[in-house]
Amino acid sequence: MTGRYDDHPFIRACRGLPHQRVPVWFMRQAGRSLPEYRAIRGEGTILDAIADPELSTEITLQPVRRYDVDAAILYSDIVVPAHAVGFGLTVTPGVGPEVERPFRTEADLQRLRPLDPEADTPYVLATVRQLVAELDRPLIGFAGAPFTVASYLVEGRPSKDHAITKALMFANEPLWHSLLDRLADMAITSLRSQIDAGASAIQLFDSWAGALSAAQYRRFVYPHSEKVLSAIADTGVPRIHFGVTTGELLDQIGAAGADVVGVDWRVPLDQARRRVGAGKALQGNLDPTVVFAGAEVACAAAREVLAANDGHPGHVFNLGHGVMPTTDPDVLTEVVKTVHAEGTVRSEPAE
């Protein structure tokens, strides 16, 4: 499978191939940390902004212009497909996704009919197509992984312990698997439509998978995320698989079918590479709070990330989680410059 950006450092790094400079982008690079975002975002929920392709295109491009990052990531949200099929949710500013009637019983499965991207989320595809026409670098499409989306649908709001979600998982395993299977199908359909519209890579966000033990992840989550990632293998686009607090899960996050394993800041990249095993690239893993200590400290920490990677070609520099809203964007500009200027890539292909 060949693509327009096969020779781009970001795509080559995802494939573990030698390239000229360490590529960098930031999760949540668009959004409230940028004054230019706050200036155009408007009233209403983020779902309203996502439904406006002109606005979403501009918001996606803002951090690319400002930081000269190596990839754009579509401005959207992991709950968009569930919202689009009428599950009944909103994203409350400052809070996150909230559901009117949380998922609790068999009958709720009917509220998750299959996604028809052209009919249900035409605005997402319009945004992807417009971005692909305007960008001179790869666009990353994405979806929420079944567990993390389920956690919002079951809890009804953001949760720290995911207790209601895990209680459903333990108490009614058949219903749990039916729910995750539907969410897997939704993610597959959404990702394929973004790839068909021109996305050059995808990321599967399982942000809250770290709430599970390795055994729980293996039994209740792995089969569904594996289904998503293997269903898009034939497209040939790099697949990034990311979660937070996944130190004990990194081998499974990789084995589920990722080309690139997203690593949070808790596990240094050299250790992460041993846990993930050969043949996969890593993405990460600067602590997103280090930027609050100023540019000098942040750039020193970025150098430590580069040192832990030790020139391995399979490395995409990123934060260990998303840019926080109070981040000073000028510090991130300095981090990008440091990575581009000082990151070195060994010339042998990844083993």
Q: Tell me: does residue 156 bind ligand CP3 (CB under 6 A).
A: no
CA-to-CA dists, residue 13 to 20, 71, 330, angstroms? 10, 12, 26
Nearer to ligand CP3, 92 or 230 (CB): 92
In the set 152, 206, 264, 275, the catalytic residue is 152
User: For ligand CP3, which residue of 78, 80, 209, 249 counts as binding (CB under 6 A)?
Assistant: 78
Question: Smallest gap, in angstroms, from Cβ of residue 278 to ligand CP3?
Answer: 27
12, 15, 41, 273: the catalytic one is: 41
Backbone dihedral region for residue 350 (phi beyond 0: left; psi -120 to 50: alpha; all else: beta): beta
Whether 17 contacts 11, CB under 8 Å: no
Closest to 128 in 3D by CA, of 142, 116, 114: 142
Active site residue 15: no
Contact between 322 and ligand CP3 per CB under 6 A: yes
Q: Are 224 and 184 in contact (CB under 8 A)?
A: yes
Q: Token digits for 207?
A: 């942000």
Query: Is 149 an interacting residue with respect to ligand CP3 (CB under 6 A)?
Result: no
Which residue has tokens 């070195």?
A: 344
Sequence-ordered list of residues with C-beta below 8 angstroms from that of 83, at least 6 positions apart, any chain: 47, 89, 90
- Is residue 104 flagged as an active site residue? no
Query: With binding defined as CB under 6 A, does residue 32 bind ligand CP3?
Result: yes
Q: Please list every residue from 39 through 58 that binds ligand CP3, using CB under 6 A.
A: 41, 46
Torsion angles phi and psi, residue 337, rounded to 5: -60, -45
How far apart, in whole angstroms, are the C-alpha atoms of residue 289 and residue 287?
A: 5
Query: Could you tell me the two tokens for 245?
Result: 């607090």
In the complex with ligand CP3, the residue whose CB is nearer, 190 or 313, is 190
Q: Applying CB under 6 A, does 158 fall inside the site for ligand CP3? A: yes
Number of CB atoms found within 10 A of residue 312's CB: 20
**Distance in angstroms (rounded) separating the CA atoms of residues 254 and 113:** 29
Please give the size of the binding site for ligand CP3, defined by CB under 6 A.
Answer: 24
Q: Is 21 a catalytic residue?
A: no
The binder of ligand CP3 chosen from 70, 77, 120, 155 (CB under 6 A): 77
- The closest alpha carbon to 3, from 228, 235, 173, 293, belongs to 235
Residue among 28, 104, 111, 219 flagged as catalytic: 28
Q: Is 41 a catalytic residue?
A: yes
**Rounded Cα distance, 193 and 347, in Å:** 35
Q: Which of 77, 206, 264, 287 is catalytic?
A: 77
Q: Shortest Cβ distance from residue 349 to ligand CP3 (Å)?
A: 29
Known catalytic residue: 275? Answer: no
Instruction: Mark the segment that binds ligand CP3 (CB under 6 A) among 68-76, 122-130, 162-170, 284-292.
Output: 68-76
CB of 100 to ligand CP3, least distance (A): 17
The catalytic residue positions are: 28, 32, 41, 77, 152
Q: Which residues bind ligand CP3 (CB under 6 A)?
A: 27-32, 41, 46, 73, 75-78, 91, 93-97, 142, 158, 205, 207, 322
